[in-house]
Amino acid sequence: MTVSETVDESELSVESELLAGLESVVTTAGPVTDRFDVEAPFTGAVIGQLPACGPEDVEEAFDRADFAQEAWADRSVEERAAVFKRYHDLVLDHAEELLDVVQVESGKARRHAYEEVLDVAITTRHYAYRAEEYLESEPRDAAIPGLSETTVHHHPVGVVGIISPWNYPLSLAISDAVPALLAGNSVVIKPAEQTSYTALKAIELLREAGLPRDAFQVVTGFGEPLGEPLVANADYVCFTGSSATGRIVASQAGEHLTDCSLELGGKNPGIVCEDADVERAVDGLIRGCFTNAGQLCISLERLYVHEDVYGRFVEAFVDEIEDLHLGTEYSHDVDVGSLISEQQLEKVTEHVEEAKAEGATVLTGGTGRPDLGPYFYEPTVLTDVDESMALCAEETFGPVVSIYEYSDDDDVIERANDSDYGLNASIWTEDLERGKRMAKRIETGTVNVNEAYAAAWVALDAPMGGMKDSGIGRRHGEHGFMKYTEPQTVAVQKKLGMTAPPGVPYWLYAKIMNKTLKLQRRIPGMR
């Protein structure tokens, strides 16, 4: 791990004033000895330094979270929900400040940062008004009615460990924590080192809303020293990131018999049918491909366009892309912002250059824009991409999309499914019933018809997650809440026991039971 020398306050950029005081949210076991730089992607300048926490800090965070969890869980669900109802309003009241911090750390366009504010507010409201219903004890049917009474209770799992990524630093630090906390758990989070200030600001507001300080702990730093102790100490692990790292997290969780949910990578397909509204598809797919400069796990990197509309779509798509405004402004007028880092720029560049060398054609883009900022890359469209190329098979995670021509539905569904990933897909057709039929055949956790990703993402009452190498488990909906609970079945036996009554020979008991079970099968409500 490389840790820079301490930066003098006078050397920090003006933007660092936004971040003043947020370090106090970080949990440390003692005096901070190591720090790491946080960089502004728009300029490459260092805007601050945060503690490079170690395993001892993780232990301290879990000790505090464990101590706080019981008292937090003892509060009524109504009391816990009141905290999050206040938080909903605080997030909206402080939206501009949150947007500034997100942009400073991530380099994304402001309109894309605003999606994160919306997500946190909507998710918070959704769960705050449903937590009581989810956690209510449920009567369940007994095997033989009248002989016993069965109830299922839902208890918090304990302390939830969250490892959140840099691409959506507000949304993915908070929206997974909200249901965990409402269920009565405490949380320890390790946010991505590139965007930790965003998580700290969001948690500061949550404490202002009334969440006990120790119920939500933060350790900042790098994955290698912090990931393993976080998984080892957690009662449940929630990870969002690459498939390669997800395998490591899953392996470590398995060693400790700790349940986990993982949302991982995607190489998501979009399909434009011959009856699609081409203008609408172009508009929607530009958002689907280039939101957050393509650094979105559910963005679309492969577009399959029917031969009947292929030429018209490609021409309109490229024309619209060439009109996109790239920039570093803190306004909603910018269409595409920066990549996060030099490492991400190198990966995007490598994918495009390799494809070009192997015969792909660049229709627009295909180059970096250092005149705008160190990590900018132009929105890029390629054709003539062989499906064996890395650009087609591997997640690029940048503003790059390849377009392929197809002729019939069976062919395009087979090609769309020909991937190790299965996170999101998009289908464009004016025949909604056809779109629904096609969607059921796509091997992804979410499919949007006549939308790129937003319709499924904001459907918070429905589960969201991946198939195949795109992950395990789900966020959103009842699935995204109940995963943070332990169901407990309590069965109360009444008069007779679950065996032959005294004085009744077992052969007679078995004969009576056979007749009883056959009778039950024939009576509705007793099956």
Domain boundaries along the sequence of the chain: 56-264+478-485, 268-461, 499-527
CATH class of 268-461: alpha beta
Tokens 């909903």 found at: 88
In whole angstroms, give the CA distance from residue 403 to residue 318.
11
Could you write out the three-class secondary structure of 208-245?
A: HCCCCHHHEEECCCCHHHHHHHHHHHCCEEEEECCHHH
In whole angstroms, give the CA distance from residue 281 to residue 242.
28
In whole angstroms, give the CA distance from residue 121 to residue 108.
19
Copy the structure tokens of residue 168. Answer: 């959506």
**The Cα angle at residue 177 between residues 195 and 132, in degrees rounded to 5:** 160
Strands 471-472 and 259-263, how do they pair?
antiparallel
Is 297 an active-site residue? Answer: yes
Sequence-distant (≥ 6) Cβ neighbours of residue 61 within 8 angstroms? 27, 188, 217, 218, 219
| Helix 95-106 × helix 196-208 angle, to 10° | 160
Among candidates 269, 310, 307, which has minimal Cα distance to 392?
269
Is 9 an active-site residue? Answer: no
In whole angstroms, give the CA distance from residue 118 to residue 458.
9
- Composition of the chain by helix, strand, coil, percent to 5: 45, 20, 35
Among candidates 256, 194, 196, 193, which has minimal Cα distance to 228?
256
Residues in the chain: 527
Provide the 3-class DSSP secondary structure of residue 4. coil
Provide the 3-class DSSP secondary structure of residue 130. coil
Per-residue pLDDT of the chain (527 residues; tens, 9 = 90+): 233 334 444 444 456 688 999 999 999 999 999 999 999 999 999 999 999 999 999 999 999 999 999 999 999 999 999 999 999 999 999 999 999 999 999 999 999 999 999 999 999 999 999 999 999 999 998 887 888 899 999 999 999 999 999 999 999 999 999 999 999 999 999 999 999 999 999 999 999 999 999 999 999 999 999 999 999 999 999 999 999 999 999 999 999 999 999 999 999 999 999 999 999 999 999 999 999 999 999 999 999 999 999 999 999 999 999 999 999 999 999 999 999 999 999 999 999 999 999 999 999 999 999 999 999 999 999 999 998 899 999 999 999 999 999 999 999 999 999 999 999 999 999 999 999 999 999 999 999 999 999 999 999 999 999 999 999 999 999 999 999 999 999 999 987 788 888 999 999 999 998 998 899 889 887 77
Q: Contact, 131 vs 182, CB < 8 A? A: yes
Copy the structure tokens of residue 437. Answer: 């039929």
Superfamily of domain 56-264+478-485: Aldehyde Dehydrogenase; Chain A, domain 1 (3.40.605.10)
Phi-psi region at 77: left, alpha or beta (left = phi > 0; alpha = psi -120 to 50): alpha
User: Which residue in the list 260, 289, 297, 392 is annotated as catalytic?
Assistant: 297
Cα-Cα-Cα-Cα torsion 294, 296, 298, 300, nearest 10 degrees, comes to 0
Q: What is the pLDDT of residue 142?
A: 84
In whole angstroms, give the CA distance from residue 512 to residue 499.
12
In whole angstroms, give the CA distance from residue 6 to residue 37.
9
User: Which residue in the list 39, 105, 263, 378 is annotated as catalytic?
Assistant: 263
Burial of 30 (0-12, 13-18, 19+ CB in 10 A): exposed
Residue 230 phi, psi dihedral angles, 5° rounding = -65, -45
Strands 259-263 and 361-364, how do they pair?
unpaired
CA atoms within 13 A on the CB side of 397: 23
Could you write out the three-class secondary structure of 66-122?
A: HHHHHHHHHCCHHHHHHHHHHHHHHHHHCHHHHHHHHHHHHCCCHHHHHHHHHHHHH
* Total Cβ atoms within 10 A of residue 181: 27
DSSP code string of 381-403: EEES--TTSHHHHS---SSEEEE
Sequence-distant (≥ 6) Cβ neighbours of residue 489 within 8 angstroms? 140, 150, 151, 152
Cα 502 to chain centroid distance, Å, stands at 58
Q: What is the pLDDT of residue 251?
A: 97
